[in-house]
Amino acid sequence: MRRIVMVGTHPSTQGGVSAVVNVLKAGGLLSRFNILYIATHRDGGAPTKIGTAIVGWLQFMSMLVVDRVAALHVHMASRASFWRKSMFIAPAFIARTPVIVHLHGAEFREFYTNESSTLTRRLIRKIFNRASDVIVLSHGWQDWLISICPEVHSRVIYNPVQLPECTPFDTRERFALLFLGRVGSRKGVIDLIEAVAKLAAQFPEIRLRVAGDGDICGAARHAATLGISGNIEFLGWVRGEAKLQLLRQATIYVLPSYAEGLPMSVIEALAFGLPVVSTAVGGIPEAVSEGVEGFLVEPGSVDMLATRLAQLLSNPELRKQMGDRARSKAKDAFAVECIVPRFDAVYARLGITPAIGNRDQA
């Protein structure tokens, strides 16, 4: 039997792509279409990563050579992810198997424009143009894609989220800020720490919880230099119930990024009814409208970030109003029940219909 093969990072891996895959699986996409998911990357050292890629490639090739692949659905980011996925895409093209490219990389534009040679840029355009569909996470990303590949067949499908139960507003910690993501320059963590330092005198009880891996030691040293170590908790990578509890406790979600696709953390924060303070990069403006579900600030503007946080911290009613709108936005635009059916059109274009009654394949 011919099947859709979906390739991407292992579902247990840290990061947004694995979060998307897990929600799609929980929402029934893999079972509805009897999709085989093959991991091409996972957390660990070089031998683990290389071994995972090789085993995944051999598994895919064993199906391709006996004509058991109806379509290849690739979750692609930039840099190493692009090259790994190209090793799957190239033989699929040779075998005339339809390829769906699902583009996630927050820095793919940087990778294409400033890091790739002329030959690599030509290869990227060829892959996009030959793909049956290129799925992007926002209309802004679609505009960029069309600017480099005017003939590409693309469509926007937002990242999905599972809606949790509502958390009563009055059970949240009043001065609790939450950041989820890798601790590094791209996510703006240092800017956020400096904004907290500006607010500490006005809001002595302010507490920032940073949940993510990366340069935690460097960020902690910066907080100590500013004299606010007592206001910040560095929790490392958090998942499962511990992550959900952080979202229930927080009063504001903050992500002052410099580059993004459509961050799962923002969508999850909306689903939990949190006002969001972020930046107008990538697909974030399609998730958070300025002054509606939260505020959008300029990347790198610590003063503006501190001003918006102070505005929310000092106004419980505004926080509640924005949080309620955030929850409604998540329900209407990003709920998995809304997103999963949109893949029907992607697969239907290839003549693939749901296979009701089959199990998920991990």
**Minimal CA–CA distance to 64: which of 34, 32, 98?**
98
User: 326 lies in a domain?
Assistant: yes
Is 306 contained in some domain?
yes
Q: What is the pLDDT of residue 362?
A: 36
Q: Where in the sequence is the domain holding 48, given as residue range(s)?
A: 3-159+336-348
Residue ranges for the chain with pLDDT beneath 70 = 356-362
As a whole number of Å, the CA-based R_g of the chain is 21
Within this chain, do residues 88 and 189 fall inside the same structural domain, yes or no? no
Residues 210 and 318 placed together within one structural domain of the fold? yes
Distance CA 273, CA 331 (A): 10
The predicted pLDDT at position 80 comes to 95
Does residue 360 lie in a domain region?
A: no
Say how far apart CA 279 and CA 255 lie, in whole Å: 7
**Is 361 a member of any domain?**
no
- DSSP, collapsed to helix, strand or coil, labels residue 288 as coil
Same-domain status, 88 and 19: yes
- Note whether residue 358 is domain-resident: no
Same domain, 212 and 80: no
Task: Please provide the DSSP assignment of 6-35 as one string.
Answer: EEEE-TTSSSHHHHHHHHHHHTTHHHHTTP
Cα 9 to Cα 57, 66, 213: the distances in Å are 13, 25, 17
Same domain for 192 and 149: no
pTM of this prediction exceeds 0.85: yes
* CA 57 to the chain's CA centroid: 24
pLDDT for the residue 359: 42
Tell me, yes or no, whether 155 and 208 share the same domain.
Answer: no
Ramachandran angles phi, psi of 95, nearest 5°:
-80, 5
- Are 21 and 125 part of one and the same domain? yes
Q: Do both 258 and 286 map to the same domain? A: yes
- Domain-located, residue 357: no
Whether 69 is covered by a domain: the verdict is yes
Quick check: is 34 in a domain? yes
Q: Which two tokens stand for residue 85?
A: 């996925």
Query: What per-residue confidence (pLDDT) applies to 356?
Result: 64
Residues 145 and 183 in one domain: no
Residues 179 and 151 placed together within one structural domain of the fold:
no
| Cα separation, 229 vs 178, whole angstroms | 15
CATH of the domain at 242: 3.40.50.2000
Structural domains counted in the chain: 2
Both 213 and 154 in one domain: the answer is no
Same domain, 152 and 189: no
Residue type, 61: M
